[in-house]
Structures are given as structure tokens and as C-alpha cells.
Structure 1
């Protein structure tokens, strides 16, 4: 009954250790009372609703607004698609199978059910890894060329190809079995004398889907964090520089929050199934079902937190969510108009107004400088008695001087 890494011949929640002795070889002992099923159903329904709605809005914000189509946001788009798909196609089925321990959906969906979650989780975690590496290159090596939109799409495509290849064994060996009282969906791993393919695959999946990418992201964000917060970055101290530094810190802070949330939500799940591979006899007790439902809820809930994090920590996404929920009475009208989610026409108009104001300011400054040039302000008398007239500053702020002789030392006298 393992929705992601089912590596048992029959689900760990299918048969208890005493079933054979009692003569009930295939009796389903994990039937729950109705009130408990209702509580779990409510908890899982919240995941599906929040995750699907939130991630679909994130996709809309990035796709519908041209200025949101950045390298980082393309990877966030891929992350949102993977999480929304997993919530829509697997979370509810996982819950139904976990509660009843009976498969109602046929062989085709059994294979998809075991295949797609691994691909989706792989796409999610490596999208976050790509963002971490992109942030590392942008901040640590700012002079190197960034990825273009085409290159970003190629990387996303490569991520999905690798994800499908990693998940293919789950699809290939998935099958259903008709027991006397119910149907079960499981992965029928072949037996090899050389190695235990079940344990080897489970350990490989845990490393590739969790420990390796988290280690890479941890190292990348550690260096980036030290650069942005614990040391001075070479450059000027202008307002523009400070704004860029603040923007970089916000993006990095948001992504660190996303990665930490993923790590916390999925750690119990990977530990659970690694322990199941090496200590399967401990997973036949009745209470294991409740532990599994809680662990699976925590893992699936990781799909609903990211839209909330984007909305709380990013001004543009917050404006996009307000625009998506503008029909709600609690959203003030006009509060979502701005933050670079304007239309292209508006941005062009604002740019034209800005340029016009700059031209007007420049012309005014030049005229004022020409007036100042007409009036001398300082007379300089050298020690040799020579006179130097100093006029007003020119257009470039350089004093215009007329020398009658070259004095050795001067004394300024204001006229």
C-alpha cells in the first residue's frame, strides 16, 4: 500500500503476523470507524483544495504576467505544476487506499499511482535545486551570463526526463492481485540472487529524491547566505544597489523557507519506508495504519505550503493573489494594482513619463548653469599681485578660470 515507494510484495497494512495462524489469511484488520475516517477525510481534503487552488494561481501569475517570466519563476512554475498534479491525481487515491486497504481503480491507474508521485517529487526537488544553483551563480558569480528562457525550458525538460526514468521501475513492476475479499495494488519486484532489488531501489530513491538534492541546496544557500548577510559585497552604496541587495535577500529567504518546509515534511516519510525495508516485521501492528496516515498527510501537505510562502514573502506574488481573489470583499480595490504586475501599456506609459521628466529636469539644469556662468563669484589675488577671476560652475561642475598670471599662492576674496 505504499503510494510512492511500494517495495513489498503485499502492502504492510494488508496482512498481520497472526492472520495465518488464525485461519484468516487475507482478512482486512485495518477497517476504521466512521468518525475517524471523517476526520482523516477532512484533513486530506484541505490539502487537496489548498494545494490545487494555490498552485494553479501561482501558475497563472507567472504565465499571465510577462514581467514574472524570469529564470527563477520558470522553475517555480514547474514546481507548482508538479505539486498541483500530485495533489489532484494521487492524494485522494492515497487516502482511500490507506483507509480501506482495498484497490478500486484497476491495473492502469495502479501503475500510474505508483509511477507518477516519484516523477512529481523528483521534478519538485530538482526544480528547487536548480533555483538554488541559479541564485548561487547570480550572487557569487554575477559577471557570468545567466541562463536564458530557452535554456531554462531545456533544463526543465531534462528534469522531467530523468524523473520519468527513475520512476519507470515502479510502473513496470506494478500489478494488482485479487484476494478472496478485496483487490490490492502493489509492486511485484523480481527476485535476484545477486542483490535485493527492493532495498537497493528504495535506498537509491531516498538518496536521489531527498538527501542528495538537500545537501546540494544546503551548501549553495550557505555560501549565498554568508555572502548576502555576513560579509560586505563590493560595490557602491547607492540606493539602487541597496534595493538590489534587499531584493536578492528576499528571494533567497523565500527559497530557504521552501526548502526547509520540504525537508521537514518529507523526512518522516523517507525514514518510515527505509525502516520498513530493513525491519518489515514491525509494520504489521494495527496502530501502524494511523502512523502511516499521519506521515503521509505530512508529506502530501508539502504541496500546499509553497503558495502560502510565496504570498507572504514576495510582493509580486502577493499582488497576484490579491488580483486572483479580487472578488472577495476583504480585498481592497486597487491594492493589487502595482508591484510590476501592470500591463505592458501601463509600463510603457510610466517609462515615457519618467523619461520626459528626466529631459525636463536636464534642460532646466543646463539653463540655470548658463545663467550662473554670466556672473563671476570669486576674485582671487595671488601673492604676486595677479588677479584671477573665478566664474560659476559649468554644466559639468568644473570651475571656469581665466588666469592673468600664475600665482605661487592665492587668497580667495568673496566679492
Structure 2
């Protein structure tokens, strides 16, 4: 995300300020080679794990007809958004954050500022849709559930809203040329920038987390308050246990997202309202660390799906089939 809101914008904030004040036009954010190498390794891990893991999740769901449930369609959209952001933005974010020099032209500058916001919006509202779907399934089990067609429409609406929200970052993106480097930044009109970023923080962080928190709180209270009678059938016990496991899995996914993105939002909030902080040389290392944490959110979900699914821990000698022991199938443990 530019990491999302724009990595480039934060970089450009300190870059433009420092460039304006630097009569020699030197780039004081040039790092030692060993630092760049360590950061390159850290960011490479994100890209490999995220792209491979999320593609595996997408393939497993789409390749098996029985996996195509409402929850799993939203998981596919979530995986697609995270894999795309990791593939198209993480490397560029790292290069720009490490060198403080934009090498990729105006077109990609606009895309780089635009796409991460759309991807994060799609990700967080896919999680929100899953939370609301689970809420309806548990709290109002007799009401009509979404069909596959309705689910596709919801996903389409999510992406349309995401693109609309991200468009201002595309429209106002621009390049500044200095003797030693090029800066990709967003040339906001007066008074628009702070309003826009406060709106973003509310729409892609605070509001969806509040909705999901309330939904999962009521779902959790309902599920864990449900005692399993001693004479209950094995099928009832298995269904209740399965529901609890899936809710646990999604709560961990949401909490992971919240933890990874909290420092990012705090950083940009402080940067926009206290811009002098972004003129300190040490802020580059802080920024790279915060950006790494935010971008790393794209790689955790496939790991969570596997680790929180009992199929991953079933020994080979189990009576279950080999197919049931496949860890990547963890996301498919859902109920209708």
C-alpha cells in the first residue's frame, strides 16, 4: 500500500522537504550496501511466501467444485488482492524506500499510488463480508443465504468502491525532477490531503475492524455459549466444533491484519499532521520497518489457514484420506 497510502507519498514528503532545504541536492537517504541487502532479503521473503501461498489458496478453491462456498469466494478475492499487491507493489515500495529515487516513470507512479489502496480496501471488505456471512449463518440460520451470483455481485461492488476511493491518488500523482533523483509524490490541492487520509483511515481500517469486531463478538458468544449435550449426535458435535474452528481462524486473520497495519496508519497520521518528523534521516529505517510489517500482512493468511486447520496435523497413519491431509485445503473448512 504504498505501502498503501502511499509509500511514495511518505517518501516524497521527506524527500521533497529535504531536497528543498539541501543546497547541494544530495540524497541523504542513501544507505550502506549491507543495509540494503538485509532489507532486500526481508522483502523477498514477503513476495515469495505471499505470491506462492495465495496462488495455492486460489487454485485449491477454484479447482474443486465442492470448495466453492460463499466464504471461500471471498477468500479467493482476499488472496487475489494480497497476491497482486505483493507482486506489483512490494518490490517497488522497497526500491523507492531504500534509495529514495523513483526509477519507474509517471505511469507506474500513478499506478503505484492507486492500486495498493484498492487492494487493501478489497482485502479488508472481503474479511468484513466473511464476518457478516458468518454472523448470518450463526445468529440467523433460518434466513436466506447469499447465492454464488449474489456473492460475485458483492465482490464486484467491493472492487468498484475500491477503485473509486483510490482514484484521487491516481489523479493527483506526479513526478518532481531534481539534479540527483526523481520523486514520485501526490500533488494534493490545499486542504484535501488531510481530509482524504483521515477518510482512508476510517474506511479501510477503523470502520471495517469495528464491524468485524462486533460481528465476531456476538458469533463467538453464541458459539462458545452453546454447550454440547451429552446425548448429542456425533454430527452435531462435529458441526459445532467446525464452526468454532472457522471463526477462530477468521478472528486470527482479522487480528493479524489489524496488528500489521496499525503502525502504518499511526506513521502516516503523524507524518501528515507533523511533517517535520519525516525530515529526519533515521525515519528511513523506521519507514522501511513499518512498511515491511504492513506488506507482510499479505503472506500470513495462507499460513494461518494451514496452521489452524486440524488437517495439517493429521499423521499419515490416520484413517483420513491423503487428500484430507493436504494443508492448503484448510481455507475450505467452512459451513454453509
TM-score, structure 2 normalization: 0.90
Q: SS of 1:11's equivalent?
A: helix
Question: Deviation of residue 335 (structure 1)?
Answer: 7.8
Equivalent position of 1:209 in the other structure: 204
Equivalent position of 2:264 in the other structure: 269
Question: Deviation of residue 231 (structure 1)?
Answer: 4.1
What is the alpha-carbon distance in structure 1 between the residues aligned to residue 299 and residue 185 of structure 2? 27
What is the alpha-carbon distance in structure 1 between the residues aligned to residue 240 and residue 78 of structure 2? 25
Equivalent position of 1:54 in the other structure: 53
What is the alpha-carbon distance in structure 2 between the residues aligned to residue 279 and residue 39 of structure 1? 29
CA contact (8 A) 2:3 2:295 kept: no
Matched, 1:163 2:162: yes
The structure number with the bigger radius of gyration is 1
Q: Per residue, is there more strand in 1 or in 2?
A: 1
CA contact (8 A) 1:2 1:11 kept: no
Equivalent position of 1:292 in the other structure: 287
Equivalent position of 1:393 in the other structure: none
Q: SS of 1:176's equivalent?
A: strand
Q: Per residue, is there more helix in 1 or in 2?
A: 2
Pairing partner for 1:310 from 305, 311, 319: 305
Please list, as runs of the form range in 1=range in 2, the aligned pairs for 1:92-107 lying within 5 A after superposition.
92-107=91-106
CA contact (8 A) 1:177 1:183 kept: yes
Question: Deviation of residue 230 (structure 1)?
Answer: 2.6
Matched, 1:76 2:61: no
Once the two structures are superposed, residues 143-190 of structure 1 have per-residue CA deviations (whole angstroms, 9 ceiling, x without a partner) of 111111111111111100000000000001111121122111111112
What is the alpha-carbon distance in structure 2 between the residues aligned to residue 249 and residue 181 of structure 1? 57
Question: Deviation of residue 5 (structure 1)?
Answer: 2.0
Higher relative contact order (CA 8 A, sep 6+): 2
Question: Deviation of residue 340 (structure 1)?
Answer: 9.8
Question: Deviation of residue 9 (structure 1)?
Answer: 9.5
Please list, as runs of the form range in 1=range in 2, the aligned pairs for 1:215-234 lying within 5 A after superposition.
215-232=210-227
Question: Deviation of residue 15 (structure 1)?
Answer: 4.6
Equivalent position of 2:145 in the other structure: 146
Equivalent position of 1:111 in the other structure: 110
Using a 3 Å threshold, how does the CA distance of structure 1 residues 280 and 226 change in structure 2: closer, same or farther? same
Matched, 1:41 2:34: no
Please list, as runs of the form range in 1=range in 2, the aligned pairs for 1:368-383 lying within 5 A after superposition.
none
Once the two structures are superposed, residues 123-151 of structure 1 have per-residue CA deviations (whole angstroms, 9 ceiling, x without a partner) of 00000000000000000011111111111
What is the alpha-carbon distance in structure 1 between the residues aligned to residue 10 and residue 220 of structure 2? 46
What is the alpha-carbon distance in structure 2 between the residues aligned to residue 272 and residue 301 of structure 1? 16
Equivalent position of 1:362 in the other structure: none
Matched, 1:129 2:114: no
Equivalent position of 2:23 in the other structure: 23
What is the alpha-carbon distance in structure 2 between the residues aligned to residue 69 and residue 23 of structure 1? 60
Q: SS of 2:12's equivalent?
A: coil
Using a 3 Å threshold, how does the CA distance of structure 1 residues 282 and 248 change in structure 2: closer, same or farther? same
CA contact (8 A) 1:71 1:147 kept: yes
Question: Deviation of residue 11 (structure 1)?
Answer: 1.1
Q: SS of 2:13's equivalent?
A: coil
CA contact (8 A) 1:137 1:144 kept: yes
Once the two structures are superposed, residues 292-343 of structure 1 have per-residue CA deviations (whole angstroms, 9 ceiling, x without a partner) of 0000000000000000001112356x59xx9xxxxxxxx99x98633398xx
Question: Deviation of residue 23 (structure 1)?
Answer: 2.2
Equivalent position of 2:323 in the other structure: 338
Using a 3 Å threshold, how does the CA distance of structure 1 residues 158 and 260 change in structure 2: closer, same or farther? same
What is the alpha-carbon distance in structure 2 between the residues aligned to residue 340 and residue 145 of structure 1? 32
What is the alpha-carbon distance in structure 1 between the residues aligned to residue 290 and residue 11 of structure 2? 20
Once the two structures are superposed, residues 82-124 of structure 1 have per-residue CA deviations (whole angstroms, 9 ceiling, x without a partner) of 0000000000000000001111111111110000000000000
Question: Deviation of residue 13 (structure 1)?
Answer: 3.1
Once the two structures are superposed, residues 360-414 of structure 1 have per-residue CA deviations (whole angstroms, 9 ceiling, x without a partner) of xxxxxxxxxxxxxxxxxxxxxxxxxxxxxxxxxxxxxxxxxxxxxxxxxxxxxxx
Q: SS of 1:27's equivalent?
A: coil
What is the alpha-carbon distance in structure 1 between the residues aligned to residue 40 and residue 86 of structure 2? 14
What is the alpha-carbon distance in structure 1 between the residues aligned to residue 229 and residue 142 of structure 2? 13
